[in-house]
């Protein structure tokens, strides 16, 4: 992997690259051209599919699609479910969008081949021009998150692990996830029914992402102060930010820490019962319905159970004169469906600082805990899995 400075903090540097990536994507004419392709196609449905972080991103893509094009049948699948348990008779009038940062996720490649076989149009979203996804799709969108030459090798040294390539740095991914959200937002905007309005909202949102990154010192301090004594982190959200909470739990896994994600209502029925005084519960509240429910739940978690809590909240709906120290104000887009792009930022910095506060090496996957062993196993369970299409 390329190194331009001595002893760099790769995960932090990737988070700080995100404004540049958003700027490059906003001006990407290829996204516009593929948006036109979708408009001109005789389609009835759009299907998003991906694995890992890309599964969270696919969920988000379906959510904005449903909001901005309610006349179409728009949904998301895990690729294994899509191939083995969906009905292919509907594919001839479908566009299937497969997301894979590395471009080589076997289940996503299989899903795209399955879609091609049964007559769907296919679009790949990837960071890797040389990956299989680009070779299997009618059109490809590149997220431009990484120098292409860095995707050919890894930093690992053992057999099996060193073959796990496709990433700029071998760390918990952040910039690639945000780039996936941005690409999908722009793509759906191009075939939305109110394109001019939607694009003005996207411009505003990209600016808010930059503003939120500039708040990082407060997120880093909060994660460090609250994260060092917890045994689990639970992310509670709803609506468009369901994927944001799930992404947060995935970052915990990537540091070999316990992470959970739950809808606010489902939390009260499920993960509440594993919440203890050693838990940190992060509530994501960009919209009024979610915020009102959180206001009922959060004091119970803090006062009755004794858990640590953080509430990420839209200042337009939290109008208290005295700000509760557990509440963090996040400037939120006018179009709430775009809020995951902004609320992903504090989740990135919080999970990073929680890992740091627990002594993990954020320059290594799993925080340096048996990294090579787990990556070599992951190579076998993921990259070497059989493709049946």
Q: Report pLDDT digits (tens) over 1-35.
A: 333 445 589 999 999 999 999 999 999 999 999 99
pLDDT of residue 4: 43
**Tens digits of residue pLDDT in 60-106:** 999 999 999 999 999 999 999 999 999 999 999 999 999 999 999 99
pLDDT of residue 7: 58
pLDDT of residue 78: 98
Rounded to whole angstroms, the Cα distance separating 302 from 40 reads 53
pTM attached to this predicted model: 0.95
In a domain, 200, yes or no: no
pLDDT of residue 323: 72
> Do 17 and 156 reside in the same domain of the chain?
yes
| pLDDT tops 80 at residue 321 | no
> Do 133 and 280 reside in the same domain of the chain?
no
| pLDDT tops 80 at residue 57 | yes
In a domain, 288, yes or no: yes
Domain span including residue 61: 10-193
> Residue 53 is encoded by which pair of tokens?
């972080």
pLDDT of residue 319: 76
> Do 70 and 171 reside in the same domain of the chain?
yes
Identify the weakest region by mean pLDDT among 115-119, 189-193, 215-219.
189-193
> Do 146 and 270 reside in the same domain of the chain?
no
Rounded to whole angstroms, the Cα distance separating 108 from 387 reads 10
Number of domains in the chain: 2
Residues 217-234, mean pLDDT to the nearest whole number: 93
> Do 180 and 219 reside in the same domain of the chain?
no
Residues 41-59, mean pLDDT to the nearest whole number: 96
In a domain, 261, yes or no: yes
Cβ neighbors of 153 (< 8 A, separation 6 or more) are: 1, 162, 165
> Do 114 and 245 reside in the same domain of the chain?
no
Share of the chain above pLDDT 70, in %: 98
In a domain, 238, yes or no: yes
End-to-end CA distance of the chain: 33
Grade residue 305 by pLDDT with cuts at 50, 70 and 90: very high
In a domain, 174, yes or no: yes
Rounded to whole angstroms, the Cα distance separating 219 from 231 reads 19
pLDDT of residue 13: 96
| pLDDT tops 90 at residue 244 | yes
Grade residue 193 by pLDDT with cuts at 50, 70 and 90: confident
In a domain, 68, yes or no: yes
Distances in Å between the Cα of 123 and the Cα atoms of 31, 97, 111, 147, 354 are 11, 5, 11, 22, 36
Provide the H-helix boundaries in the chain.
10-16, 18-26, 29-40, 53-68, 79-85, 106-117, 132-136, 175-190, 195-213, 216-227, 242-254, 264-269, 288-300, 339-357, 371-378
Question: By the 8 A CB rule, do 106 and 80 touch?
Answer: no
| pLDDT tops 80 at residue 266 | yes
> Do 221 and 278 reside in the same domain of the chain?
yes
**CATH code, domain with 297:** 3.40.50.10490
**Tens digits of residue pLDDT in 96-124:** 999 999 999 999 999 999 999 999 999 99
pLDDT of residue 2: 37
DSSP state of 71: T
> Do 144 and 244 reside in the same domain of the chain?
no
In a domain, 206, yes or no: no
**Tens digits of residue pLDDT in 323-368:** 777 899 999 999 999 999 999 999 999 999 999 999 999 999 999 9
| pLDDT tops 50 at residue 304 | yes
> Do 343 and 231 reside in the same domain of the chain?
yes
> Do 304 and 252 reside in the same domain of the chain?
yes
In a domain, 198, yes or no: no
> Do 35 and 126 reside in the same domain of the chain?
yes
> Do 152 and 296 reside in the same domain of the chain?
no
| pLDDT tops 80 at residue 211 | yes
């Amino acid at each position: 992997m390329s190194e331009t400075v001595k002893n760099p903090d790769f995960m932090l540097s990737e988070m700080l690259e995100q404004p540049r990536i958003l700027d490059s994507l906003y001006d990407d004419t290829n996204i516009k051209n593929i948006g036109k392709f979708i408009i001109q196609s005789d389609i009835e449905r759009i299907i998003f599919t991906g694995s890992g972080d890309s599964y969270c991103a696919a969920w988000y893509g379906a959510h904005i699609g449903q909001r901005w094009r309610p006349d179409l049948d728009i949904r998301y699948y895990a690729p294994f479910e899509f191939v083995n348990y969906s009905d292919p008779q509907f594919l001839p009038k479908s566009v299937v969008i497969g997301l894979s940062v590395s471009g080589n996720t076997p289940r996503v490649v299989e899903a795209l081949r399955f879609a091609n076989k049964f007559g769907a149009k296919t679009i790949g979203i990837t960071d890797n021009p040389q990956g299989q996804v680009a070779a299997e799709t009618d059109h490809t969108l590149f997220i431009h998150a990484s120098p292409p030459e860095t995707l050919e090798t890894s930093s690992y040294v053992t057999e099996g692990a060193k073959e796990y390539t496709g990433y700029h740095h071998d760390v918990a991914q952040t910039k690639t996830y945000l780039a996936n959200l941005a690409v999908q937002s722009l793509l759906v905007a191009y075939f939305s029914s109110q394109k001019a309005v939607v694009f003005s909202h996207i411009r505003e949102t990209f600016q808010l992402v930059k503003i939120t990154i500039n708040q990082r010192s407060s997120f880093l301090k909060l994660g460090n102060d609250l994260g060092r004594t917890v045994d689990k982190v639970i992310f509670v959200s709803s609506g468009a930010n369901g994927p944001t909470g799930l992404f947060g739990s995935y970052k915990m896994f990537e540091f070999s820490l316990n992470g959970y994600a739950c809808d606010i209502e489902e939390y009260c029925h499920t993960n509440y019962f594993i919440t203890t005084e050693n838990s940190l519960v992060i509530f994501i509240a960009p919209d009024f319905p979610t915020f009102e429910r959180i206001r009922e739940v959060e004091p119970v978690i803090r006062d009755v159970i004794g858990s640590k809590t953080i509430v990420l909240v839209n200042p337009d709906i939290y109008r208290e004169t005295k700000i509760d120290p557990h509440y963090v104000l996040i400037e939120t887009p006018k179009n709430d469906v775009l809020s995951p792009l902004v609320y992903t930022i504090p989740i990135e910095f919080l999970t990073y600082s929680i890992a740091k506060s627990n002594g993990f090496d954020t320059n290594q996957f799993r925080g340096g805990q048996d990294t090579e062993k787990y990556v070599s196993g992951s190579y076998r369970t993921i990259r070497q899995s059989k493709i049946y299409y």
